[in-house]
Structure 1
Amino acid sequence: MNTAPAWRHTTVLLNEAVEALVTQPDGLYVDGTFGRGGHSRAVLALLGPAGRLLAFDKDPEAIAAAQAITDPRFAICHASFDSMAEELAARGITQVAGVLLDLGISSPQIDNGERGFSFRFDAPLDMRMDTTRGETAAEFLARADVREITEVIRDYGEERFAAPIAKALVARRESGHPVLRTGELSALVARTVKTREQGQDPATRTFQALRIHVNAELEALQQGLKAALALLAPGGRLVVISFHSLEDRIVKTFIAGESREVVDRRAPFAPAKAMRLNALARIKPSAEEISANPRARSAVMRVAERTLAA
């Protein structure tokens, strides 16, 4: 009997995240990025009989993996976490005790070469987290002009050779041989990028940029943070784990902006807008965790708590 490969995933900051999140054992919690369920299972282990957990994921493979959890306190939604407010409202839920977001890409998505996320495998250049909808990376490169490709690779990959890479991609497309596979993209970038940080593949930043663009990851993060804040009950926790500076900058800025009173300069005598979050912690993986799981080395976890003010 043929079975699908059991792609392994090691959950980053597992204990730190769930301990920061779960302060009310009988509360309702949201895991916005189920992945393979490491955080979800740990949350369920801390919940009491009346506690509940609603998880989200865009990836059909993650949704399939979630079917193995038979705990009646658990439910899964095939949707992006930026739609959590609408999904919860449809269930008659307006407040939650905590929201966890473990951002970025999971190990099974990277290690399954057919998904097109990794330059380590030659496969169709897909990169969609939700393979049931949306434009693939190959389709984007087949239609975008040099300016748009440059902006994506520069802004989302922080790649200083974005312009030459974009020009090479368009030139190849115009020659009748568009880039359709990960191996083709990796080889093209390697020919175009003449220098790179020691130990880093030349294609790393380009692959990251296309993945972020195809999945609208930063836009989803911004909307998801707003949705989480609107849902958090007083004392509720927001826990976010990010894996690169673009994500962490958005999270840091959001928490900082909601952690201070704001005075409307146009109405200086009006009451200040009350702070809505208390920033509690910034946590990095331990040396032991990084040694056991090198993919944890870039992780940053930020924790904030909803204030009692309205």
Structure 2
Amino acid sequence: MTQPGEARPRHIPVLGREVIGWLEPQGGGIYVDATFGAGGYSRAILDVKNTRVIGIDRDRTAIAGGFELVDRSDGRLTLVEDRFSNLAEICAGQGATAVDGVVMDIGVSSMQLDQAERGFSFRADGPLDMRMGHDGPTAADVIAKASEADLANIIYIFGEERHSRSVARAIVAARKDAPIVTTRALADLVAKVVRGKPGDIHPATRTFQGLRIFVNQELDELHLALIAAEHVLKPGGRLVVVSFHSLEDRIVKNFLSERAKAGGGSRHQPEKAQRPPSFAILTKRPVTADDDEVAANPRARSAKLRAAARTDAPAHAAGNLPGWPTLATVMRGG
């Protein structure tokens, strides 16, 4: 832990070298670091002379931590506290209607995991919060309000927990006796239901993942952010996304695959014009961390990078979000 007066260790982002390699920042270009975090990607982009970066993060702690980099950027870094799904509106507000690159690092940050008071991790006891921002229902609120069926769906869909029904049943039974408001209380409860083998991940890992993704509406945010990036990138502009689990990577892969193929017509409707691809995929397979990076940072083990370049074709229609449980519906008991 850093002591008062000591310099904070420089944050090294996962796949940082690879991200910058695929982003290819050029002098004079405008780039969006859509998940600013500790500013690792932004710092590397700013190392290229005359680049400009718009950094976005919904976590005001991350924004505050970036003020020093803002001061050292000679006006080339602007930080905005907001959801990255709003990046098109944010760019327009900064006078950047077309940008040269967008980078996204999806999911919870190591800084958030390390802060017990944020409630993301069961490694240390803390309030069952899990919010990346500072508004909306907490994980404890969801645990207290959601029906057993909704809890089972949340934990199964977003946490990929096979024992979701048993976990949901145990939560509903336990909350009748006392509210579940701490990370340790929830982790201990789940551990009684989900039996792990030696060497397995902690039994509560998937339940915590499911609740965190749900509370922050992370997958909907990712869908919307990808669509927004499609609209703000100029022809030739690069989109680089780093994800950390299969749910995120599947969304990115499917989005880019759909955008990279011509569509709209068929042999049944030959008169309908073909829709030109809006992206050209650059990474035919996801880029992963090498052994040295994984040894230095175990979190990099699950990281997957996908990159694509914007074509000059119009953006595709947005389409509908998947029909999974939503925070608003669950909290109102609908």
TM-score (norm 2): 0.87
Please state how far the C-alpha of 1:195 moved relative to its aligned partner: 3.6
Shift of 1:23: 4.1
Matches within 5 A, 1:137-156: 137-156=139-158
Q: Residues 23-62 of structure 1: matches in 2 within 5 Å?
A: 23-46=25-48, 48-49=49-50, 51-62=51-62
1:113 partner amino acid: A
How far apart are 1:172 and its partner, in Å? 1.0
Match of 1:301 in 2: 305
Choose the corresponding residue for 2:109, options 88, 106, 110.
Answer: 106
Q: Is the 8 A contact 2:37 2:57 kept in 1?
A: yes
Deviation at residue 200 of structure 1 after TM alignment: 0.7
Q: Residue 120 of structure 2 aligns to which amino acid in structure 1?
A: F
The unaligned stretches of length 5 or more in structure 1 are none
Structure 1 counterpart of 2:300, which letter? A
Q: Which residue of 1 aligns with 2:66?
A: 66
Q: Distance in 2 between matches of 1:309 and 1:238?
A: 15
**Amino acid in the other structure paired with 1:165:** V
Which residue is equivalent to 2:93? Answer: 90
* % identical equivalent positions: 44
Q: Using the alignment, how far apart are the partners of 2:276 and 2:197 within structure 1?
A: 46
Q: Are 1:134 and 2:133 matched, yes or no?
A: no
Q: Contact conserved, 2:242 with 2:304, CA < 8 A, in 1?
A: yes
Alpha-carbon shift at residue 26 of structure 1 (Å): 1.1
Letter in 2 for 1:107: S
| Residues 142/98 of structure 1: CA separation in 2 closer, same or farther (3 Å cut) | same
Q: Which residue of 2 aligns with 1:275?
A: 277
CA distance in 2, matches of 1:12, 1:84: 22
Amino acid at match of 2:184: G
Q: Could you say which residue in structure 2 is the equivalent of 1:224?
A: 225
Aligned residues: 305
SS in structure 2 opposite 1:127?
coil
Where does structure 2 lack aligned partners over 5 or more consecutive residues? 315-334
Q: Is the 8 A contact 2:120 2:130 kept in 1?
A: yes
Q: What is the distance in 1 between the residues matched to 2:11 and 2:193? A: 33
Equivalent residue, structure 2, for 1:264: 265
Give the CA deviation at 1:90. 2.2
Return the letter of the residue paired with 2:275: K
Whole-angstrom distance in 1 between the partners of 2:167 and 2:230: 39
Q: Deviations over 1:219-253 (max 9, x none)?
A: 00000000001111000000000000000000000
Asked whether the 8 Å contact 1:124–1:181 carries over to 2, the reply is: yes
The answer as to whether partners of 2:126 and 2:182 remain within 8 angstroms in 1 is yes
Matched residue, 2:185: 184
2:125 corresponding residue in structure 1: 122
Q: Is the CA contact (8 Å cut-off) linking 2:196 and 2:202 kept in structure 1? A: no
Give 1:55's aligned amino acid.
G
Q: Residue by residue, what CA displacement relative to the aligned partner does 1:234-293 show, whole Å, maximum 9, x if unpaired?
A: 000000000000000000000000000003347422320000101101210111100111
Write the mapping of 1:199-210 to structure 2, written as runs, cut at 5 A.
Answer: 199-210=200-211
| CA distance in 1: counterparts of 2:79 and 2:198, whole angstroms | 40
CA deviations 1:115-160 (Å, max 9, x no partner) are 1011111111000011x21110001111111011000000001001
Distance 1:13 1:84, change over 3 A: same
Runs of 4+ in structure 1 off by over 6 angstroms are none
Q: CA RMSD in A?
A: 1.8
Partner Cα distance (1:8, 1:200) in 2 = 29
Name the CA distance, whole Å, in 2 between partners of 1:127 and 1:173. Answer: 19
**Counterpart mapping for 1:208-247 below 5 A:** 208-247=209-248
Moved more, 205-214 or 192-201: 192-201
CA distance in 2, matches of 1:196, 1:207: 18
Larger deviation, residues 297-306 vs 165-174: 165-174
2:321 match: none
Matched residues in 1 for 2:274 and 2:245: separation? 34
Partner residue, 2:15: 13
Q: Which amino acid in structure 2 is aligned with residue 102 of structure 1?
A: D
